[in-house]
């Protein structure tokens, strides 16, 4: 399918597991993808892989924990491509711990990266989409933002806020034909998850047993859902929080 021919998509956190899969999926379907990540080397690797597969990509490294960097990213993207059809707010961090064990810095940084960056990026992008007559924004929330897992209070709370932000933004800008939705993944096999598994002393096989479907998810499966929500096939989906969990209850 080529659902994104002649369209431009910006993907944040595109150097990571889910983000790189999203960037590659949108590019495979014809989009010019602006691959952005705080790690420029990782972003370059993803862009090179896209181009090797015959797709189109541009790299803009950005530390979206800074308001100015968020606006600069959108300004540079628009100057480079002349349009912004899709914004995927995928970047995020996971600082573990309950309230008494979590540091002030981890709490503040979780909100800065997981929520504030989304606020700034959407604020910078919306005028372009309004002028163009519409667009699609897909945010990465989490199953844990809907059903909190223990000992992840900062992550859970920020992802719950992402879910609320998504629905509020959708209702405010649906009249402008700007569709805003969120994916809410469960356990997905990424480098971030592997690091957490090692710290816990568990294995991927242990996590697989907790999922009724028989295994945890793959980044490519989340990417397929994001691509659908960003496409015209999801033309009447706006304000949806779509879980992708293999029917797993919260771990």
3-class DSSP state of 181:
strand
CA-nearest of 7, 19, 125 to 55 is 7
Closest by CA to 184, choosing from 130, 231, 133, 148, is 148
Euclidean distance between CA atoms 114 and 102, whole angstroms: 16
Q: Which residues are catalytic?
A: 155
- Domains and their CATH numbers in the chain: 8-190+219-244 (3.40.50.720)
What pLDDT sits at residue 251? 66
Report d(CA 56, CA 47) in Å as an integer: 8
* pTM (predicted TM-score): 0.96
- Distance of CA 26 to CAs 8, 132, 224, 245, Å? 9, 20, 9, 22
**Phi then psi dihedrals of residue 58, to 5 deg:** -130, 145
Count other C-beta atoms under 10 Å from residue 106's C-beta. 17
pLDDT at 194: 86
10-residue mean pLDDT series, the chain (251 residues): 95 97 98 98 98 98 98 98 98 96 98 98 98 98 96 97 98 98 96 84 92 97 98 98 94 66
Contacts of 188 (CB under 8 A, 6+ apart): 17, 18, 216, 217, 218, 219, 221, 222
pLDDT recorded at residue 56: 98
Contact of 50 with 56, CB cutoff 8 Å: yes
């Amino acid at each position: 399918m080529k659902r994104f021919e002649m369209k431009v998509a910006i993907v944040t956190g595109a150097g990571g597991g889910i983000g790189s899969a999203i960037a590659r999926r949108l590019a495979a379907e014809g989009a010019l993808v602006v691959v952005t990540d705080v790690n420029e080397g990782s972003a370059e690797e993803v862009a090179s892989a896209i181009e090797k597969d015959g797709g189109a990509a541009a790299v803009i490294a950005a530390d979206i924990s800074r308001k100015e960097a968020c606006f600069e990213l959108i300004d540079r993207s628009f100057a480079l491509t002349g349009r912004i059809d899709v914004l995927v707010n995928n970047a995020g961090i996971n600082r573990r711990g309950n309230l008494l064990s979590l540091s002030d810095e981890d709490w503040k940084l979780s909100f800065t990266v997981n929520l504030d960056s989304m606020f700034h990026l959407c604020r910078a992008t919306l005028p372009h989409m309004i002028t163009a007559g519409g667009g699609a924004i897909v945010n990465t929330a989490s199953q844990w933002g809907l059903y909190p897992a223990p000992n992840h209070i900062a992550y859970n709370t920020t992802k719950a806020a992402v879910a609320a932000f998504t629905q509020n933004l959708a209702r405010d800008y649906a009249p402008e034909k700007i569709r805003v939705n969120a994916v809410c993944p469960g356990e997905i096999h990424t480098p971030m998850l592997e690091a957490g598994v090692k710290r816990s002393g568990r294995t991927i096989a242990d996590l697989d047993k907790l999922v009724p479907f028989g295994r945890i998810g793959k980044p490519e499966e989340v990417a397929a859902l994001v691509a659908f929500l960003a496409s015209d096939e999801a033309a009447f989906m706006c304000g949806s929080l779509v879980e992708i969990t293999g029917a797993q209850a919260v771990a």
